[in-house]
A and B are shown apart, each in its own frame.
Chain A
Amino acid sequence: MMASLAADTVREPQGDVYHTIGARNLQGGVLHIVCALACALAALAFAGPGFAADRKPQAGRKQVEAEQVRADDAGRRVPLEQRQVEGTERQRAESGRQRLKALGYELLKPFRDCLDCPEMVVIPSGDFEMGSPAGEVGRYGTEAPQHRVTIAAAFALGKTEVTQGQWRALMGHNPSYFSRCGEECPVEQVSWNDVQEYLLRLSRKTGQRYRLPTEAEWEYAARAGTTTPFNTGNCIDTDQANYDGNFDYNFCRGMKRNYVQRTTPVGSFAANSFALHDMHGNVWEWVEDCWHDDYVGAPSDGSAWSNGPCEKRVLRGGSWKVEPRSLRSAERNWEWAHDPGNGHGFRVARTIFW
């Protein structure tokens, strides 16, 4: 089903000031959206904490922890509003929301920096367990050890993978194998190096700091509060993502044998509770990090792992042609940075706080 949240909120530059124009336009499945939004809000922390606005020196990064979403005894995430918290913590969370608001952002509210720019969603700060737990079916050693990661500040992430139309608008050509799929299909056959040039042009066009998400940010956003193999739960099916339906995961539903054998327009499947589409399947997504065979020594602050064999870069999320095991939130893959591969795409991230 199609589920699109506030797709038409467009931000256009007017001198140095950005104004939000256009109104929310809810398409299709309104009930679903309302439900998703409610779930999302219930599952969330609130804005990034006591941070200076973009382009100001870092300040107060230490005082952050208090604003993260916390898990209760049963391991569920409990929104701040429902927790017994000290007054100061609540005040700081409120202050964080206001700082975001002062910059013109709201958590989970999509925006665009220009008409041809990818639609972005503001992802809340928080912490999570990165990697797969020991008992997860089909896990690889690359996903261990599972470790706690803190995403200290709210950031923006592409609501969808970058489309062929968006790529063409900045780069002047379309390298995609499935170019006949259309402008709304994800761009693919782009190398990590190619993506850097796109990001440079997008950053210069908008004056904003566009980049690839870090691997930690990607998994945090893909999970959107879930601890299961998929953000859809313990199972996934071909009504929920684009992958090779000839294969099943852990005897979930039997095989539906639904395999479209190509990419699909972005946003063809329901969003997760962070309002992000296609985090599972469609195209592999490049992230910033250099490849390491496991998480021993990985950063825990949500930053990219930028040393090591950087000629290899990490890919996440699986693609149209993989089995569901490779769609898992914790699944990791790599490719040479210069290799456009086959089915490699990406989604952009954007820093909000310096």
Chain B
Amino acid sequence: MSVLYSLGMRCSLHAFVGAMAMALNVLAAHADDLRPGQVFQDCDECPEMVVIPAGIFEMGTPASAEPGNDSARPLHTVSIMKAFALGKTEVTKRQWRAVMGVNPIGSLVCDDCPAENLSWNAAQEFVRRLSVKTGKQYRLPSEAEWEYACRAGAQQEYCGGDDVDSVAWHEGNSSGGAHSVAGKQANAFGLHDMSGNVWEWTADCWNNGYNGAPSDGSAWISGGCSSRVIRGGSWYYKSRYLGASVRAGSGVDDRGNNDGVRVARSLP
């Protein structure tokens, strides 16, 4: 953990996030013996989970950034009140099969590639079954949790860095398909492929901009709920769409051929 936070100590904001996280997580650590940064699995073929500390961050596009990316404005402060667990990687085809009992749609050549062609409803069904299987509270991350985990205390262009090729699969380097998860460098929270590889569904309803968005890290479940927010960009898209603040929305039954999922789990 000290390694984690030493990475983030370069500016006072990072220090603040770190301090908040450690203070708030003393209780959680006692309750479940899960500490920020710890990796665990609830069953053999369940997704590997990383404990993400509570903390505060700035969500969206900074006002100082040049105009554009309007749906990610205004920049606003969000407090993630409670530590949670987030998938270390996107859900793989192997994991999908283990939980759902059927293969995901698409090629089965690469079992450790992310499950694709997933609608939001399909992703919801996956977390429901995973919860039943494990007895734990799996769910989709809120959009705020997703961006907080992506940034991991830093203000960088992509999740985990400014150099897209070292952290992400995108149109320019993917050779036309998804790649095995965790093939690129992790971010400071130990999460892989938050930018790129496949888009990742979140729990939030689509709203065109952050006016009225919750500030407590919970999912925004009012507004255009027939569309949900999806994040991170994919192997099919230009790197400019893989940015930490870039948002997109799709209908709950739409099955984008490079849409996947990363699960979250509430901690006791």
Contacts and interface: CB of A to CB of B under 8 A. Distances in A.
B45 interface: no
Interface string B57-76: 00000000011111100000
Q: Which of A193, A204, A211, A354 has the most CB of B within 10 A?
A: A204
Interface stretch (B139-147, B188-196, B235-243): B235-243
A337 interface: yes
B67 A338 contact: yes
Contact of B256 (A57, A207, A211): A207
B176 A55 contact: yes
A329 to B, nearest CB: 27
Contacts of B240: 196
A197 B175 CA distance: 24
Contacts of B34: none
Interface string A279-323: 000000000000000000000000000000001000000000000
A311 B66 CA distance: 10
B208 interface: yes
A55 B256 CA distance: 13
A233 to B, nearest CB: 37
A204 B68 CA distance: 18
B246 A57 contact: no
A160 interface: no
Given A55-B236, A194-B68, A200 B177 contact: no
Contacts of A191: 67-68
A26 B60 CA distance: 47
A172 B208 contact: yes
B257 interface: yes
Contacts of A171: 208
Contacts of B236: 55, 209
Name the interface size band of chain B: 20 to 34
A201 interface: yes
Interface in A160-208: 171-172, 191-194, 196-197, 200-201, 203-205, 207
A171 to B, nearest CB: 8
Nearest to B117: A16
A211 B177 contact: no
A194 B175 CA distance: 28
A201 B249 CA distance: 8
Contacts of A58: 175-176
B92 interface: no
Interface in B64-94: 66-71
Contacts of B238: 211
B205 to A, nearest CB: 15
Interface in B174-226: 175-177, 208
Contact of B177 (A57, A197, A201): A57
A56 interface: yes
Contacts, number: 56
Nearest to A211: B238
A76 to B, nearest CB: 37
Contacts of A205: 250
Contacts of A204: 230, 248-250, 256
A197 B176 contact: no
Interface string A321-347: 000000000000000011000000000
Nearest to B235: A55
A201 B256 contact: no
Contacts of B175: 57-58
A202 to B, nearest CB: 11
Given A55-B176, A56-B176, A58-B175, A197 B68 contact: yes
B250 A193 contact: no
A193 B69 contact: yes
A55 B177 contact: yes
Contacts of B246: 200
Contacts of A354: 176
Contacts of A194: 67-68, 70
Contacts of A16: 257
Interface in A29-46: none
A193 B257 contact: no
A197 B237 contact: no
Given A55-B236, A200-B248, A207-B256, A338 B176 contact: no
Contacts of A311: 66
Contact of B70 (A192, A197, A209, A337): A197
Given A172-B208, A201-B248, A203-B237, A57 B176 contact: yes
Given A55-B177, A200-B237, 13 more contacts: A55-B176, A56-B176, A57-B176, A58-B176, A172-B208, A192-B68, A194-B67, A196-B69, A197-B68, A200-B241, A204-B249, A204-B256, A207-B256
6 pairs of A and B residues whose beta carbons are closest in the complex = A193-B68, A338-B66, A338-B67, A57-B175, A354-B176, A57-B176
